Amino acid sequence: MAKAIHSMIRVLDEARSVDFYRRAFGLEVADRFPFDGFTLVYLRNAETDFELELTINHGRTEPYQLGDGYGHLAVAVDDLDAEHARFEREGLSPLPIKEMHRDGALMARFFFVQDPDGYRIEVLQRQGRYR
């Protein structure tokens, strides 16, 4: 059976992205590997072994075009309202909390936030299938 271990995104400014993911999701640098032309930074927290891999291409000055294929990353939290308030205090500009219902029952409570490169991250209340 395959195990998901990381997702990679390309970012323009390493320090800005590391700061965002630390403040937003408690992700810390697990490893950092500089190469000729690019650097790989792996972020994770104590909740999971799954990592976010940041790829920084040296010398790049133009923002990446996300295109129309990228959707979002998603994380689950224990207290969505508290996290939303914390994001606001941190100046991370979360969008309003939304609810999604299916067959008359609450399926999900969530909000979205964008990282410094425009990647959308969905923050879901831990419940049901979102654990």
**Residue 7: beta bridge partners?**
52
Reported as a pLDDT band with limits 50, 70 and 90, residue 33 is very high
Average pLDDT over residues 61-78: 92
Tens digits of per-residue pLDDT, 1-11?
878 899 999 99
Domain ranges of the chain: 1-60, 71-131
Edge-to-edge strand order for the sheet containing 28-35? 6-10, 48-57, 38-45, 28-35
d(CA 10, CA 59): 13
Active-site annotation holder among 51, 53, 83, 122: 122
Burial (CB < 10 A; 0-12, 13-18, 19+), residue 39, is: middle
Cβ(47)–Cβ(131) under 8 Å? no
Average pLDDT over residues 70-90: 96
**Whole-number mean pLDDT of the chain?**
95
Q: What is the DSSP letter of 25?
A: H
Provide the CATH topology of domain 1-60: 2,3-Dihydroxybiphenyl 1,2-Dioxygenase; domain 1 (3.10.180)
Average pLDDT over residues 36-45: 97
User: Quick check: is 122 catalytic?
Assistant: yes
Fold identical between 1-60 and 71-131?
yes
Q: For the domain bounded by 71-131, which CATH number is listed?
A: 3.10.180.10
Reported as a pLDDT band with limits 50, 70 and 90, residue 69 is confident
In what helix (H) or strand (E) does residue 16 lie, and over which residues does it extend?
A: helix 14-25
Tens digits of per-residue pLDDT, 83-113?
999 999 999 999 999 999 999 999 999 999 9
